[in-house]
Amino acid sequence: MRTSYAVGVDVGGTRVAAGLVERKGRIVKEVRTLTPRDAGPFAIVDAIIELIEDVSSGVHPSEIAGIGVGLPAQIDFLKQSVEFCTNLPLNGVDMRSLIMSRVRHSVTIDNDSNCAGIGESRFGAGKKARDFVMITLGTGVGGSLFFNGEPYRGSRGLAAEIGHMVVDLDGPPCPCGGTGHLESFVGRPALAARGREAARTFRAHTLREAAGGDAEQITAEHVIEAALAGDEDARKILLEAGEVLGRALVGVVNLLNPRLVIVGGGVGESCGFLVERAAEMVDAEALAGRRDVRVVQAELGNDAGMLGAAALAFDEHDSREGIQR
């Protein structure tokens, strides 16, 4: 039976979102709540269940293919187990069984970055690409890899940490403990630090004003906001970040020869000119034959993870029922 809906859940460090999603990716209903960060795993499960019940209320259970859940954790996808989670107390918690015991549907879990990639792959910027790389620029810099039309997870489900590629041998320390990693140049903390520096050293009026006049309060969002409002110093910071991103992508493109690179995440989605600068670098420096790769912004914004999770649920249902995609 071809069901009409799946529920996609996107669990983040700050918020949990759930959506009732049609097969073609239309979100019929969407709800969000704050992540109960400090009350243990059961509180998180409670929050997830509440959102699932909310979005699926009024829909007959037989119309729902299943539930997909994206988690900010290292997932063993084949075992459907949470291996490791730094931001939430989910280490080794059997989230799939906990959720499944309280809903009438099958549950599939995956890493949140993979869900975002699957979302863009089915419904967004990656629709026609079999081989692509998604990179998410935010506080951290992560991503997902798609080879031959499928997510590639690596030998232990830990692949796609694009932010932790070395791009500079003598570069600054990275939050992970390494040095010179991409994230230490383009993550939000790095952009904010560059913004504070500029507001101290240069004029950067707009930038300082964006932070209420106090240079020390400047965040990455202030830098982006000021750049979009025309502040040249802020714009320069983001263009330089785009250059470093581009240089890292030269390596990724030479290594993986993807058809497409999708740049998402809060920073990637709000900064078209940063992504364009990265695309220019790739075009200038990638090896011959690889320059047909397109570097584009993600299309689905915050919904990517939820849509990808729902797509996983449809897939799981269809493969169980022997329906070809």
> In the complex, which residues of this chain contact a second copy (CB under 8 A)?
74, 83-84, 129-131, 145, 147-148, 152-162, 164-171, 176-181, 244, 247-248, 250-252, 254-259, 285, 287-290, 292-293
Q: Based on CB atoms, which residue is closest to a second copy, 181 or 194?
A: 181
Cβ at position 49, least distance to a second copy in Å: 29
Q: How far is CA 193 from CA 67, 137, 164, 297, in A?
A: 40, 16, 19, 24
Residue (of 6, 1, 5) closest to 310 by Cα position:
6
Given a contact cutoff of 8 angstroms between Cβ atoms, the answer to whether 242 and 278 are in contact is yes
Query: Tokens in use for 174?
Result: 């990275």
Please, which residues have CB within 8 angstroms of residue 212's CB and are 6 or more apart in sequence? Answer: none
Tell me how far apart the alpha carbons of residues 319 and 322 are, in angstroms, rounded to a whole number.
Answer: 5
Cβ at position 316, least distance to a second copy in Å: 19
Q: Based on CB atoms, which residue is closest to a second copy, 30 or 240?
A: 240
Cβ at position 82, least distance to a second copy in Å: 13
Cβ at position 198, least distance to a second copy in Å: 19
Cβ at position 255, least distance to a second copy in Å: 6
Given a contact cutoff of 8 angstroms between Cβ atoms, the answer to whether 109 and 94 are in contact is no
Q: Based on CB atoms, which residue is closest to a second copy, 154 or 213?
A: 154
Backbone Cα Rg of the chain: 20
Q: Based on CB atoms, which residue is closest to a second copy, 60 or 156?
A: 156
Query: Tokens in use for 134?
Result: 């998604």
Q: Based on CB atoms, which residue is closest to a second copy, 154 or 272?
A: 154
**Pairing between strand 107-111 and 150-152?**
unpaired
Query: Tokens in use for 41?
Result: 């795993």
Q: Based on CB atoms, which residue is closest to a second copy, 58 or 177?
A: 177
Tell me how far apart the alpha carbons of residues 186 and 141 are, in angstroms, rounded to a whole number.
Answer: 8
Cβ at position 116, least distance to a second copy in Å: 17
Q: Based on CB atoms, which residue is closest to a second copy, 62 or 91?
A: 91
Cβ at position 67, least distance to a second copy in Å: 27
Residue (of 177, 235, 247, 189) closest to 210 by Cα position:
235
